[in-house]
A and B are shown apart, each in its own frame.
Chain A
Amino acid sequence: MSATLAPPSISFGPVLEQKLGKRVTVEQRPGADIPTLVTDAVTLKEAALFLRDDPATAYDLFLDLASVDNSKLPGNLAPKDGSRFQANYILYSTRRNEHLRLRVNLPAKDPAVPTLTGVWPAANWFEREAWDLMGIRFEGHPNLQRLLTHNGFVGHALRKDYDKSQRWLCTEEDLLQTELAARTDDPEDMFETMTLNFGPSHPTTHGTLRVVMRVDGEKIVAAESECGYLHRCFEKMSETHTWVQVVPYTDRLNYCSPMINGNGYVRGVEQMLGIEVPPRAKAARTVLNEFSRIMDHLVCIGANLVDLGALTNFWYAFQPREEIYGLLEACCGARLTSSYARIGGLAKDVPDNFVEWSRALLPGIREKIADIDGLITKNKIAWNRMRGTGYVSKENAIAWGFTGPCLRASGVAYDVRKDKPYEMYGDVDFDVPISTDGDNFARYLVRMEEMRQSMRIIEQLLARFPKGPINSDDYRVILPPKEMVYNEMEGLIYHFKLVFEGVKVPAGEIYSFTEGANGELGYSLVSDGSGFPYRVKVRPPCFPLFASFEHIIKGSMVSDAVATLGALNIIAGELDR
């Protein structure tokens, strides 16, 4: 089991010691996934600056802020120093390809840390979220308001003493009353600019995003975006379900590519359990991940172009999706919400003709992609609408915490599949397309090329699709086959224990990350050794993307904001969880 592994080492230990002395310690926890540094609220900012700026560390990308309420941990796991909350900053260095966790332990009463928005602008929304759901105060934060819940909400939902079904009255007054909107009557500004509300029920906000803009004619002079209109309490719900029961919830995070979410989650749990899945499951997961990526990109491109007025592509994009749905349905019985991944494998084996079926899908996808390509890539109107709009420089993309196609469109070649391969990605040959243009058209091109690369991956895997069992034979985590349950005492016991108690994940924590369709999809999981997750925190790839939206569109036209919103591919399900 993983618990026997040595703690991960850090390369910058001496520099760290020299700069910050004993105020930052390296956590020596056996079996930890990524190196962990522990500091206190006073040193946090200094440590953050060091980690960002020192060439030996160079943690330039702020990935996540996972807060934990430790008050319900069993005695032996409870923090020794009497602290209650934890703020875990997950960082990544694009130069050194390394992750790091920076941890601060906080007391039960008035937990507060200095804000890191000045160090990593991406921290802004993550801190608001932690304030909203966990009640950790971030001193000096420019706008520490609730983000996911409404203003009528009382309490902090992810604290352990908060009842999971306690709802609070929300009226129209409790929705975002932005600074911008409040300033409408500023006498000096009269008639010069006006406030324009955009969403949440607006065709191009895809249901649940909201932006309030201040416009001068058609030009946006300021904007403020808001999310939370689809906050379905995924993280709280996870805590009340067993490890396996969380899988269906993960499907509904990014519902354009459900398979990828489930895969990311079970991988995290598998790492905690220290189990390996058989090659056949790995290959099947990888193939289905890539099909999901294609589906996701197709929706993104199709919907983005609809917003720009090019409806035809939408019909083109949806046809291959329907065909892939057919394959998914044959695998798991559902089109969209597949719930197919399981800890230790897949819910059931892929159909016998999986390889042929998958192969047969590819020409159709290629054809439709070529159709879209032919219509758009050299289209004058598309160029006018997409080139140069929604520009994000490389520096900004990193500072705002971009990952995935949007980061690659700004010129950073970070792709988890390539840089930290998982499942079968290490065994296949594929390219990571990047662009240095950083605009909407670059995002479109990157996605188009990624779909082609995905097909390359699929083809290589289908050519040598492994035979053998689909599931791990570790029956502590996965149901034994039915014959075994009926005929053998042991099988029956395993079955019984799994059904009644669920998978027992050893106490510990992990940050597990995979490449979602939108970027790095991270799961910070904490287990207390019972059958239920103690804490599940998702790093949704489009959260930082939407957080930066208000900066990207500043100075552009309203219609360009529409193009940009589509090109960023914000999926409300994972944005708000």
Chain B
Amino acid sequence: MKTPPPSLPVRSPAGKIAPPLGPGIPSSSGADFLTTKLDVAVQWAQSNSLWPMPFGTACCAIEFMSVVSSHYDLARFGAEVVRFSPRQSDLLIVAGTVVDKLAPVLKKVYDQMAEPKWVISMGVCASTGGFYRAYHVVQGIDEIVPVDVYVAGCPPTPENLIHGIIELQKKIQSGELARHREAKTFVPIRVGVDPDLSIPAYSDGVMARVPGKKELPEIGETAESELNAKARAAAGEGDR
């Protein structure tokens, strides 16, 4: 039988810890203690002390700044210790467009973060490429790193990002995300166009943990392959 998730200690008005509602042991001696599962306690702690690393690249980063600054004050949600070192953070907030040139960098930053780690993709650019369906833009960072929460908007309003963080906290507390991810090599990011170069099948394997993940866009049609060949022919004329 499934036990309901144990709840967290609640301070009673007298300043004492009230008996937990879950499978805790009510104290008879008057001393305050509580029992719970280690996992639950750890998840609770993790979810309320997220250390975000803002991978801010574009306009969304400006809204991220708004979220952490005085007016919206992310400190209220236990996620204000912004660290610019991936080694010190456990939440990667990708705020802004990620372009092909930046993709290896993002991958490296993600790899440098210690487990457990989570990723929020802030804004439509990070989530899908947004309205940049173009020759140099990653069509969603889930081509490169696994994403836990997608926050919609261009840019998302601060409330929306805060909502995303709360959703992530819920997910962490529910234990749903306590899975390890392995992505040891950089997956080349080439959205399939060129028929004679094999396209790395990113969409299977460990990263395909995002439910309903989108398929690699089908752009590769003959007309475009021809263009492609032409582009290469043009470039071959002593250009490169």
A binds B: yes
Residue of A nearest to B57 (CB): A207
User: Contact partner of B227 among A162, A236, A258, CB < 8 A?
Assistant: A162
CB-CB under 8 A for A255 and B136, given A149-B101, A155-B234, A166-B193 = no
Determine whether A256 belongs to the interface, using a CB cutoff of 8 Å to chain B: yes
**B interface, over-half SS:** loop
Interface flag for A196 (CB, 8 Å): no
Contact status A232-B234, CB under 8 Å = no
What is the bound-complex CA distance between A171 and B155, given in angstroms? 28
A170, B103: Cβ atoms closer than 8 Å: yes
In the complex, are the beta carbons of A201 and B109 less than 8 A apart? Answer: yes
Chain B residues near A208 (CB-CB < 8 A): 57-58, 102
Q: Which of A163, A171, A248, A325 contacts B135 (CB 8 A)?
A: A163
A-side contacts of B62, CB under 8 Å: 255-256, 299, 336
Which one, A148, A159, A172, A572, contacts B58 given CB within 8 A?
A572
Q: Which of A154, A174, A233, A335 contacts B232 (CB 8 A)?
A: A154
What number of A-B contacts does a CB cutoff of 8 Å give? 188
Bitwise interface map of B from 78 to 110 toward A, beta carbon under 8 Å scored 1, else 0: 000000101000000000110111111110110
B78 to chain A, nearest CB (A): 19
CB atoms of B63 and A336 under 8 A apart: yes
Given contact pairs A149-B136, A208-B57, A252-B58, A167 touches B100 in the complex (Cβ within 8 A): yes
Contacts A110-B237, A232-B136 known; A335 to B55 CB distance under 8 Å? no
Contact with A along B213-232 (1 / 0, CB 8 A): 00000010000100110111
**Contact present for B234 and A200 (CB under 8 Å):** no
Contact at B135–A322, with CB atoms within 8 Å?
no
Contacting residues, chain B, for A148 (C-beta < 8 A): 136
A-chain residues with CB within 8 Å of residue B193 when the two chains form the complex: 163, 165-167
* A168 at the B interface (CB under 8 A): yes
Kindly supply a per-residue 1/0 record for chain A positions 138-152, scoring 1 wherever the CB is within 8 Å of any chain B CB and 0 otherwise.
Answer: 000000000011100
- B70/A319 in contact, CB under 8 A: yes
Task: Type the 1/0 row for B43-76, where 1 means its CB is closer than 8 Å to any CB of A.
Answer: 0000000000001111101110110011100000
Max count, chain A CB within 10 A of own CB: residue among B102, B224, B232, B238: B102
Chain B residues in the interface with A (C-beta under 8 A): 55-59, 61-63, 65-66, 69-71, 84, 86, 96-97, 99-106, 108-109, 131-137, 154-155, 157, 186, 188-191, 193, 197, 219, 224, 227-228, 230-232, 234-235, 237-240
**A to B CB contacts below 8 Å, 12 in the list:** A110-B238, A153-B136, A156-B239, A165-B135, A170-B100, A170-B101, A170-B189, A229-B57, A229-B102, A231-B136, A233-B137, A236-B134
Interface residues of A (CB under 8 A from B): 109-110, 135, 148-150, 153-157, 159, 161-172, 174-175, 200-203, 206-208, 228-233, 236-237, 248-249, 251-252, 255-256, 258, 299, 314-315, 318-319, 321-322, 325, 335-337, 572-573, 576
Closest 8 CB pairs of A and B: A155-B231, A255-B59, A233-B134, A203-B84, A318-B69, A207-B57, A163-B227, A150-B101
